[in-house]
Structure 1
């Protein structure tokens, strides 16, 4: 039984590893909240809801585990390790420079929501960044486009109450050109896109944080 569980968990982890094709075969619904500390941008609170097919592997592994059971902690740690291996699948930019993250989240967890598995975590910036008069952009995506990671609605990117008067968020959904679309559609499960093409980034939504 343990071997079966390890195999099932491995299937999910493979979905977050860049070793397979470019077509989205897994879908993650994103919710992100900007975190503020003493007037500074300190991190992102993330909630990733997996599609039901992807979730089935994890929920099978969790069995009838109740919230807070050790199995959820173990699954969260395994998935989080893979996410960390890809720098949280996230980029934050300020004035043309990438903003660095801490190597580990300050908190993380996994839970069941109906037939879907949900990963939550806090992505901390290595150093809190000033907000007043500044603009930042951030994106969460799989560079290979194997996993589609997106916001269903603009309100899924949110500000804490204390920032709502001085800052605003805007979610931009790109419209890749016909050449990129045709290339993505031409790839099958045995193909992988060229690394320098950053195919997933061309489909990635960008959130702009602007503060007065």
Structure 2
């Protein structure tokens, strides 16, 4: 199941699982409140998870149980997300305000709202965030820049962009050299070296 890939301390370093990200920055009353995330897992990663769901209908308790299990593991890794403002980390609430798991064209899709612990001011501010697996066992990325979006309330006063890193050839070679018996040093945060950065700038 997904927990064996995304959601446990992995002994595998270079990507063996892939998740496509779509993120919408949420706001209310002129302040940023959180991120709505949609994670679409690759078909191989999805296979075991969908097998466990069987032919369960979308409103079946089976899906709610699986969603809760996957979400618990995501929470155990702080949503696999780092959020920064003026060089300091922005804290999240410990629980999502909503979440669900479903089957879309034979792929498992996890949708949830990551709430900020405190609403953040927007006017004249710049924020950055990245979503990644530190071990780089799971590749988590945006298929296209427009998959990082602003909610309607933010489109008039803010801009959003996705910056894709360019790891050195040595770093790429190191990641590819790691096999199933290897793991990168924890303090290396290998996945962070490959993580896309989303930048939000508001007037």
Fold shared, TM-score > 0.5 on shorter chain: yes
Corresponding position: 1:179 with 2:170: yes
Taking structure 2 as the reference length, the TM-score comes to 0.98
Higher helix share: 1
Q: Deviations over 1:168-211 (max 9, x none)?
A: 00100001001111111110011000111110000000000000
Residue in 1 that maps onto 2:124: 133
Equivalence map 1:150-189=2 (5 Å): 150-189=141-180
Q: Is 1:14 matched with 2:20?
A: no
Q: Deviations over 1:141-193 (max 9, x none)?
A: 00000000000000100011121110000100001001111111110011000
- Structure 2 gap segments, 5+ residues each: none
Q: Provide the C-alpha distance between the structure 1 equivalents of 2:66 and 2:55, rounded to a whole number of angstroms.
A: 14
Deviations 1:28-81 (A, max 9, x none): 000000000111110000000000001011110111111111100000000000
- Find the aligned partners of 2:51 and 2:30 in 1 and give their Cα distance: 43
Distance 2:22 2:39 in 1: 7
Measure the CA separation in 2 of the matches of 1:148 and 1:187: 15
Q: CA RMSD in A?
A: 0.7
SS at match of 1:47: strand
Q: Which residue of 2 aligns with 1:45?
A: 36
The count of aligned residue pairs is 202
Per-residue deviation, residues 68-118 of structure 1 (Å, max 9, x unmatched): 111000000000000000000001000000000000101100001011000
Instruction: Name structure 1 gaps, 5 residues minimum.
Output: 1-8
Alignment partner of 1:24 out of 8, 15, 32: 15
Stretches (4+) displaced over 2 A: none
Query: Partners in 2 of 1:183 and 1:143 — Cα distance?
Result: 15
Aligned residues of 1:18 and 1:146 also touching (Cα < 8 A): no
